[in-house]
Amino acid sequence: MAAAGSCRAKAPRGAAGRRRPRAAVLGAERRSRAAAVRPVDEEVSSDSEPESPSLGRRRRREAAVEEEVEETPQEKKLRLAKLYLEELRQHEEEQAAAEEEEEETHPADLIGDRLKEDVLEQKGRLQRLVAKDVQPPDPASIRVLRGHQLPVTCLVISPDDRFIFSASKDGSLIKWEVESGKRLCVVPGGKKGTEERHMGHASHVLCMAISSDGKYLATGDRNKLIMVWDTATCKRLHIFTGHRDAVSGLSFRKGTHQLYSASHDRCVKVWNVAENAYMETLFGHQDIITGLDSLSRECCVTAGGRDGTVRLWKIPEESQLVFYGHQGSIDCIQLINEEHMVSGADDGSVALWGLAKKKPLALARQAHGMQDAQGLQQPYWISAVAALRNSDLLATGVGQLLWSKGLGVQGVCPAPAPAPAPAPGWGAWQSPLSTLGSHSASVKLWKCSEGFRKLEPLWAIPLV
């Protein structure tokens, strides 16, 4: 007889009268409860049957969530690195297929080359060797687009190579379509003193720059004004004032909306275009600033005209490096990469600089030859330089020059020239040309030797 008040039931005996283990009893009870809850007509698949696709996807998602929750920082870094390498592999394979390269290249080699390029570009030392593949353009492919009433002073190409913006001494601004050569938008110049009522400039436009995302266009004029425009609509968004003389140089910091401006008042100013804000002013040049350029680092370079200096401005440190090398007025400057730059002067020389040395790495004197001026032999002066970024290819002339990956060196509104064979790992790009002109009636192309230690002339593009 069981003891009174006891709640514990005896474990049932088996067929031979032995007691069954408690775990087996509990398992049987669970199975019986599950069977009671399960609908009668539900199919129960065996372990050997394949699971449904939806169930499999759900299980994989749950497993991924659990894995992400349990992932350590080291495991996350490893996973992201693998994803990055996989994206690089896919990108390089697609590029290799598009270019229909004759020789098969192993994906691992392409990934390694791309990683090396990324590292060198971040360090500012990347130099793609493309000059050897450049061919002179067919003169018949060069066309001139007309629309300004006075000489063109500056121009830029949109980051997607679809549009050209040009400005002139008549104060006008024109947006051109590269493909067709059509004028998409014209902002005419006005009279002095009408800037508030008139949308455009009322004096000579001397410089312009476009942001790396193609959203903003900035233009500077002789009336000390900087105007900011919406590139899509050509609508003026803001006017920056603060310079005490003509604005002679503009450059957007790559990847940002930070704008650098240079002026004949000998100073450099920093602006935040997205917030319509002035940030700071930098002093140091002893003569008018004639040129300015910048890349992705928080710094810019300037040419100081008759003070004979090129300067690198380090914005966060509020410091500057001073470089000497030209004998005449330094009229133009451009960065090749984050560590090297090229400049030109009215003594006819072209200088190649490394930011680690105060003297030029290479200097080409009388780069465009000599001219007979009133019985005196004088060198043709250089007022424009252009560099294909992160490469060994440069261009010099008198007028406005700039490089575009898709179009080459551009003047006011030239038509694209036929593309030469692409350099390995670089992609298609086209021969350089210009229509803005040169005192020596040509634009000259140069090859920088590996390491930026020598300038070698390639050939000239005649403009007449």
pLDDT in tens, the chain (464 residues): 444 444 444 444 444 444 444 444 445 555 555 444 444 444 444 444 455 556 666 666 666 555 555 678 888 878 888 888 888 888 877 777 766 555 554 555 666 666 676 677 666 667 788 888 888 877 777 778 889 999 999 999 999 999 999 999 999 999 999 988 999 999 999 877 776 667 889 999 999 999 999 999 999 999 999 999 999 999 999 999 999 999 999 999 999 999 999 999 999 999 999 999 999 999 999 999 999 999 999 999 999 999 999 999 999 998 999 999 999 899 999 999 999 999 999 999 999 999 989 999 999 999 888 887 677 888 888 888 999 988 999 999 865 555 554 444 444 333 333 333 333 322 223 333 333 434 556 789 999 988 888 999 998 887 65
Distance CA 264, CA 323 (A): 19
User: Would you say 277 and 271 are in contact if contact means Cβ atoms under 8 Å apart?
Assistant: yes
pTM, two decimal places: 0.69
Whole-angstrom Cα distance, residue 231 to residue 463?
Answer: 30
CB atoms within 10 A of CB 45: 10
d(CA 155, CA 165): 5
**Mode of pairing for the β-strands spanning 299-303 and 309-314:** antiparallel
Rounded to an integer, what distance in angstroms lies between the CA atom of residue 180 and that of residue 175?
Answer: 12
379 vs 344: CA distance, rounded Å = 12
Please give the sequence-ordered ranges of beta strands (E in DSSP) within 191-283, or none if there are none.
205-210, 216-221, 226-230, 235-240, 247-252, 258-263, 267-272, 277-283
Residue 130's closest CA among 457, 429, 461?
429
Distance of CA 192 to the CA centre of its chain: 36
For residue 111, give both structure tokens.
């990934």
Can you list the alpha helix ranges (DSSP code H) found in 163-240?
none
